[in-house]
Amino acid sequence: MTRKNRRLVALALILTGVALATALLLFALRQNVTYFMSPTDLVSTSARPLAGGRPIRVGGMVVYGTVKRDGTITRFTITDNENNVVIEYDGIVPDLFREGQGIIATGTINDDHVFIATQLLAKHDENYMPPEVAKAMKPHYDAIEAKKQ
């Protein structure tokens, strides 16, 4: 084998290794992606295949009068002022969790269209809203404001 051929083989092996490592990395990251949706996105028919069994995040405001506690299970409804999603969480809720509070829940949606949360995150104060929640809810708030005028 000539010197030129050895270089070509070495280059081909290096490129193959880099391509394989990139493919494995992308596959591993794909398994850990958690999509964010608003209640309206989650209710829409186009989002149902995406939500089928995969963990997703849904964010909105806790509707007043919907928080029900039964032992460690907390059931409540969140809204983006257009659609509502019922959430069920088994565990200790964050200290900042309350009605009228913005939250993000991570979990899956079941066949009864109840979101089974495995994690709840409450926003820090009444002025802070995570950018992803603000972006997802902005079109719905704009539509409500337009109806008021």
Q: pLDDT value at position 147?
A: 67
> Where does the chain have alpha helices with state H?
3-31, 39-43, 48-51, 131-148
Q: Residue 16: is it exposed, middle or buried by C-beta count within 10 angstroms (0-12/13-18/19+)?
A: exposed
Could you state, in order of their start, the residue ranges of all structural domains in the chain? 1-33, 34-122
Annotated binding site for heme: 124, 128
Question: What tens digit of pLDDT does each residue of 53-85 get?
Answer: 678 889 999 999 999 999 889 999 999 888 899
Task: Assign domain 34-122 to its CATH superfamily.
Answer: Nucleic acid-binding proteins (2.40.50.140)
Q: pLDDT value at position 49?
A: 56
Is 11's pLDDT higher than 80? yes
Q: pLDDT value at position 108?
A: 87
Q: Residue 7: is it exposed, middle or buried by C-beta count within 10 angstroms (0-12/13-18/19+)?
A: exposed
Annotated binding site: 124, 128
